[in-house]
Amino acid sequence: MDNLVKLGILMVIMALAIFYISSASFQGGFSSDNIQEVIVASNTARYMSFTLSNFTVVGLLYYTNGTNINFYLVNQSVFDESYSNSTGQIISNSTALQQNGAIEIIYNRSGGIFPYQQQNLSAVNIYEQTESPILPAGRYYGIFQDPTGSNTTVFYSLLSESKGAVQSKILSSAVYGLSGAGLLLAGIVLVIYSIFIRKGQKKEETVERNVESIYDRQVRAKKPARRARRRRRG
């Protein structure tokens, strides 16, 4: 195999490795293995809370042991007006929660995420104030309400990254991506050049060498004939 072909294949492999490492690093920076568990008694609600110090990218995932529940993601003011610590219940109706500024409400589902991506759900199932995962500084609450007649176990995981950190990771990933793309393109071009163009050049060179060889043989064959004619003349 031609050395240039080998070099081109090596460049393609290195580009694919860069793509994989960049993707794994980017995804790893946003993954979380921190799964929390909370038991919600029948016809009550439980909550989890978190505080953001600045504009932050937030992702929240929850799922139950199979029971459909209601989920509310709200800020501090909505929580103060809507949740009763004494009874563990939501004291505002859905319309009031939405008007007060609830960020997301998911009704009668065994699992959900923020920001919610499934747009095929009707307004009866989900309310979204925003599809952006970026939330301003403040305190937030995820409320799990069990409207059924039995206790429900809820598992949830929260991920948060500062807006600046996310932008830095995106920029870094883009740089790696451009580098990998450039290396991949260069490798492909080098392989194509080596296999097709250089192959054609080698054929031309072979033809030229054959022509030169034939010419040289003809020249060498003519020389004895010339010498013989000269002898006869002499």
Q: Are 56 and 135 in contact (CB under 8 A)?
A: yes
Q: Which domains does the chain have, with CATH numbers?
A: 25-171 (2.60.120.680)
Q: Which two tokens stand for residue 150?
A: 């039995």
One-letter amino acid for residue 177 of the chain: G
Cα distance between residue 186 and residue 36, in whole Å: 48
- How many Å apart are CA 167 and CA 165, to the nearest integer? 5
The pTM for the full model equals 0.61
> Is the separation of the CB atoms in 129 and 101 below 8 Å?
yes
Do residues 114 and 1 lie in contact, with contact meaning Cβ atoms separated by under 8 Å?
no
Confidence of residue 74 (pLDDT cuts 50, 70, 90): very high
DSSP string, 197-210: IHHHHHHHHHHHHH
Gyration radius of the chain over CA positions = 36
Across the chain, mean pLDDT equals 76
Quick one: CA torsion of 63, 69, 74, 80, rounded to 10 degrees? -130
pLDDT, one tens digit per residue, over 127-173 is 888 888 889 999 999 999 999 888 999 999 998 776 566 555 555 55
